[in-house]
Chains A and B, each alone.
Chain A
Amino acid sequence: MGEQLTLVEAVRTALARAMNDDDNVVVLGEDVGALGGVFRATDGLAAAHGTDRVLDMPISESMFVGLAVGLSTEGFRPVVEYQFMGFLYPALEQLACHASRMRTRTRGRLTCPLVIRAPYGGGVHAPEHHSESFEAAIAHIPGLRVVIPSSPAKAYGLLLAAIRDPDPVVFLEPKRLYRAAHEEVVDDGVALPLDRCFTLRSGADLTMVTWGACTVEALAAADHLAGDGISAEVIDVATIKPLDMTTILESVRRTGRCVIVHEAPRSGGVGAEIAASLADDGLTSLLAPVTRVTGYDAVPPLYRLEHHYFPTTERVVDAAHRVLEYA
């Protein structure tokens, strides 16, 4: 029997399950111990497993991802928490130079089965640097997986998969959804597949492709469009690297129209990669230009102007109408 959990509770449940199942799973990061993490994602883990498996880190964001590299080559499965994605930038060096390529460099002799978790995106009235979405920069690094859950059940199943995966995974948690809704989660230890999209809603007239918090606006837009007799398919990409273009192409071949929605800035975003792949492999099925609804190519504003920056339901609906105008 499942329990109604929020997304952050589902993360905590998955972490607890992984720690119970495998002694090699250790959790580390700033304030993950006594405090239980700034979002309480690790609440209770130190009490249950002790401070040798739930390790509070000093403020050393570059060091502790490197630490996880060393732990993982020695057979541990470290799960590293970053408090906000905006503080993950110092980790990029270790991710790009080491975690992502240790397997390649050593031809498989040493590997890094580690997970980096970070809350990302805006919408919680947080201070400067607390609303970033630079998933594309991480997705650009060969050898990494980048996974983004869109609901409590997805968070549970995908995080378990990430922890069990033999390669490094960056797991980005849309913090706007942390406590936004409850969903039934069965704590049965069953993982969801990585590298696969999830079709959240089937439709025939157009395909919306999105991930993370923007699934909320995409689904709301699909509801709205249904009122006008338009049937929109909504695909939650979930793993943005590597991309499951098979599922996206299959959908777009049926609908002929595609709207990509993401909160991150437009230029060089993951949406651009999806659009390019559609041009490569789906051009003959397209009835309209592929359209993107994204954050702007600007510094994410502080919260007074944030609502202008986000892809709103209205913007998604407008984009859908635009692609439907092509006969």
Chain B
Amino acid sequence: MHEDVGSVAVDGARVDAPSHASESRPSALGADELVRMYRAMVLTRTFDAKAVALQRTGRSGTFASSLGQEAVAVGIGSAMGADDLLVPSFREQGAQFMRGVEPAELFSFWGGDERGSDFAAQRRDFPIGIPIGTHVAHAVGAALAMQLRGEPRVAVCVFGDGATSRGDVYESMNYAGIRRLPVVFVVNNNQWAISVPRARQSAAATLAQKATACGFDGVQVDGNDVLAVRSVVGDAIERARRGGGPMLVEALTYRLADHTTADDASRYRPDDEVSAQWRNDPVARLRGRLVHAGVWGRDREEQLLAECAAVIEAAVEEYEARRPESAAAIFDSLYAVLPVAYAAQRAELIQRGETDG
């Protein structure tokens, strides 16, 4: 149970609203750590805004913003150990940045370049997962590897409220329960799966209770409270590390942006629902705490915004300055060694690539 940090255990029958108790509880974290988390959230928001702008101006492809959900990703990122494994969906940039993924890399990924998934400083984590729910089994497989080798590592898998409707998500959690694997499942419940609201995705009172059928605990946490997310996910990770088995954490948050840059949410959800949700803005919430704690003020805020803007601008420059790969790259990482059967196709690509410059 984690009532003290803003979550409630869900036993399938009884469901409470997640508490917001972390607001009133003096934080055990030092000011430096709070500022580090705040910086990660602001950096994520700056990155998202820039990525949307790049798409709008034809400098990138479709992009999925995490606006309003930064506390989920940053809470996870700050709770994980460096040797743990992140198996993300596509709104976890906040966690990825904390784990060493570079903004320029994610700009590249969304900009249609596979090198954006070849993280220079983060060699182990999975790339962004696009086919909904299909990556959950990967986290369970990696957790099995950790268990078989007796490594003190934990896999953390993030997926959306919509993903919980997929059979493979249940199948994966079921197996994790059977072997009590070191894996933490985090549902980023942002209330929407494109146009389908949470209530029409599942008749279950909570998504956390889906853990019950798999034989482990599920808890809800206020996903707009980064300290609560960090605490609940952190406890789940440490429990899993000690052999306590998997856990499902449902982080309750809200998708403030369109589903992606290809979406127009005004077609299916009322604007006033969105504006009301801005009151729960997780970034403003942590800023309020910092101010309240006396470690933050206008100067530091302005400094931070300028710093994040500069980091993201530099990342855009790096992304845009990167020379495109040659056509042969289509074949160069297809197999460890390209079978001779495809040598002619590769040669044709090179020859054509040269003629059309």
Contact = CB atoms under 8 A, between A and B. Distances in A.
A296 B325 contact: no
Contacts of B324: 304-305
A60 B166 contact: yes
A236 interface: no
A127 B353 CA distance: 23
A58 B61 contact: no
Contacts of A87: 131-132
Contacts of B112: 125, 302-306
Contact of B167 (A63, A128, A308): A63
Contacts of B342: 296-298
Interface stretch (A1-9, A32-40, A152-160, A180-188): A32-40
Contact of A302 (B113, B262, B331): B113
Interface string B186-201: 0000000111100011
Nearest to B264: A35
> Nearest 4 A-B pairs (CB), nearest first?
A303-B112, A58-B165, A35-B195, A308-B327
Interface residues of B, number: 44
Contact of B267 (A35, A62, A126): A35
Contacts of B345: 266, 296-298
Interface string B298-336: 000000000000000000000000001101011100100
* Majority SS at the chain A contact face: loop
B110 interface: yes
Given A87-B131, A308-B327, A296 B166 contact: no
Contact of A31 (B111, B196, B330, B352): B196
Interface string A92-110: 0000000000000000000
Given A90-B168, A296-B331, 8 more contacts: A30-B194, A127-B61, A127-B62, A296-B330, A297-B341, A297-B345, A303-B61, A304-B324
A128 B134 CA distance: 14
B27 interface: no
B130 interface: yes
Contacts of B267: 34-36
Interface residues of A, number: 39
Contacts of A129: 130-131
Nearest to A89: B131
B130 A127 contact: yes
B277 interface: no
Contacts of B263: 38
A305 B62 contact: no
A309 B166 CA distance: 32
Contacts of B131: 86-87, 89, 129
Contacts of A30: 193-194, 196
B324 to A, nearest CB: 5
Contact of A304 (B111, B128, B349): B111
Nearest to B333: A299
Nearest to B112: A303
A59 interface: yes
A49 interface: no
Interface string A275-315: 00000000000000000000011110111111011000011
Given A296-B345, A303-B112, A59 B193 contact: yes
A308 B329 CA distance: 10
Interface of B: 61-62, 109-114, 128, 130-133, 162-163, 165-168, 193-196, 200-202, 262-263, 267-268, 324-325, 327, 329-331, 334, 341-342, 345, 349, 352-353, 356
A233 interface: no
Interface of A: 30-31, 33-36, 38, 56, 58-63, 86-87, 89-90, 125-130, 266, 296-299, 301-306, 308-309, 314-315
Nearest to A40: B267
A305 B166 contact: no
Contacts of A63: 167
Contacts of A36: 267
8 contacts: A35-B195, A35-B267, A60-B165, A62-B166, A63-B167, A297-B341, A306-B112, A308-B352
Listed residue (B61, B267, B329, B334) with the most chain A CB atoms within 10 angstroms of its CB: B61
Given A36-B267, A125-B62, A127-B61, A58 B334 contact: no
A59 B166 contact: yes
Given A126-B62, A129-B130, A305 B167 contact: no
Contact of B330 (A59, A62, A308, A315): A308
A296 B349 contact: yes
Nearest to B161: A59
A152 B112 CA distance: 29
A56 to B, nearest CB: 6
B343 to A, nearest CB: 11
A59 B167 contact: no
B163 A59 contact: yes
A301 B194 contact: no
Nearest to B342: A297
B123 to A, nearest CB: 20
A38 B329 CA distance: 31
Given A63-B167, A296-B345, A38 B130 contact: no
Contacts of B353: 308
B61 A126 contact: yes
Contacts of A130: 130
Contacts of A34: 195, 267-268
Given A304-B112, A305-B325, A308-B327, A60 B352 contact: no
